[in-house]
Amino acid sequence: PHDLNRHDLDDILGTINEEVRQRFGEGKLPDYIPSLADVPEDRFGMALALPDGRIHAVGNARDPFSIQSVSKVFTLTLAMSAVGDELWKRVDREPSGDPFNSLVQLEYEKGIPRNPFMNAGALVTADVVLSSYADAEATLLEFMRARSGNPEVGTDEVVAKSERESGHRNVAMANFIRSYGNLDNDVDAVLGFYYLQCSLRMDCVDLARSVQYLADAGHCATSDVQVTSAEGATRINSVMMTAGTYDAAGDFAYYVGLPAKSGVGGGIVAVVPHVMGVCVWSPGLDDKGNSLLGRYALHRFTRMTGLSVF
């Protein structure tokens, strides 16, 4: 399967695109962040980014969307670069089996979130990034522009505001973690940075390029930069596999078989280790908050290419 050529990949993407378009309407838009419910549901895009810089894309692969929790991959990378294994003293790396916005395990675990991909863990990761970089917001923006090769990458103020106004659960979570002493910065600063990362607007091509370093031992083809070590990339992929899609991580491993990270904006990035970075997007979600058709597309993709890591 590793010598799939351009023609094969374009054919496979074309088939997936046709299949997915028959199923528009099956997912549900998230209504707990009001501005994300305004997006048209009948959209699907998919992009593949190879280490030689080649891109294959189909459908709405150039429509920008709110990347939401997909951003947690990049803040995890920044946090690991800054503090290394010290990070794991403050956040665990176990699958949770609970929804992404769950607080329930925080009390038993004394403010140590189960993994960096649930909201609780992403808040601690955001805190580490805030403490580690002089201008964390500029660092993150620069990181995303360099990885994607798109200097226009920015945030969506409307989405950030909508989240700030409706994020009561995240406020509770941040305060709860803080009560255990596991946030160094002000709760408001941590939440502000977290909403900023979630409100980044990017498209499938941007995001496929942005995760490609995880498929090439930490080397980013777009910027020709070693973003993390080969070991770092392996570690991040392993956490994506076990926790990147929350309480559906088992199902993702079973059907898709790739490290993946989803967001409630309908995007999912996936990594085919040593082969390519992938991004799919379709706004309708399943009951776990993952893109329903995005997951279906990834499932079809690994079935047709034989590229599941298993």
Is 282 a binder of ligand GLN (CB under 6 A)? no
Nearest residue (CB) to ligand GLN, 198 versus 211: 198
Is 264 a binder of ligand GLN (CB under 6 A)? yes
Burial 9-46 (b: 16+ CB within 10 A, else e): beebbeebbeebeeebeebebbeebebbeebebebbbb
Is 68 a binder of ligand GLN (CB under 6 A)? yes
163 is in an annotated binding site: yes
Residue 64 and residue 156: Cα distance in Å, rounded? 10
Is 163 a binder of ligand GLN (CB under 6 A)? yes
Residue nearest to ligand GLN (CB): 69
Alpha carbon distance, N-terminus to C-terminus of the chain: 13
263 phi/psi in degrees, rounded to 5: -145, 155
Task: Give the C-alpha distances (Å, rounded to integers) separating 232 from 30, 44, 193, 280, 281.
Answer: 33, 31, 23, 24, 26
296 is in an annotated binding site: no
Binding map of ligand GLN across residues 23-52, x = CB under 6 A, - = no contact: ------------------------------
Nearest residue (CB) to ligand GLN, 119 versus 242: 119
Binding map of ligand GLN across residues 170-199, x = CB under 6 A, - = no contact: x---------------------------x-
Residue 33 and residue 44: Cα distance in Å, rounded? 21
Radius of gyration in angstroms for the set of CA atoms belonging to the chain, rounded to a whole number = 18
**Number of chain residues interacting with ligand GLN (CB under 6 A):** 11
Q: What angle do CA 142, 273, 194 make, to 5 degrees?
A: 35
119 is in an annotated binding site: yes
Is 103 a binder of ligand GLN (CB under 6 A)? no
Give the relative orientation of helices 230-243 and 71-83 as an angle to the nearest 10 degrees: 140
81 is in an annotated binding site: no
| Sole binder of ligand GLN in the list 101, 115, 148, 282 (CB under 6 A) | 101
Interface residues with ligand GLN (CB under 6 A) are 68-69, 100-101, 119, 163, 170, 198, 263-264, 289
Residue stretches of the annotated binding site: 69, 119, 163, 170, 194, 246, 264
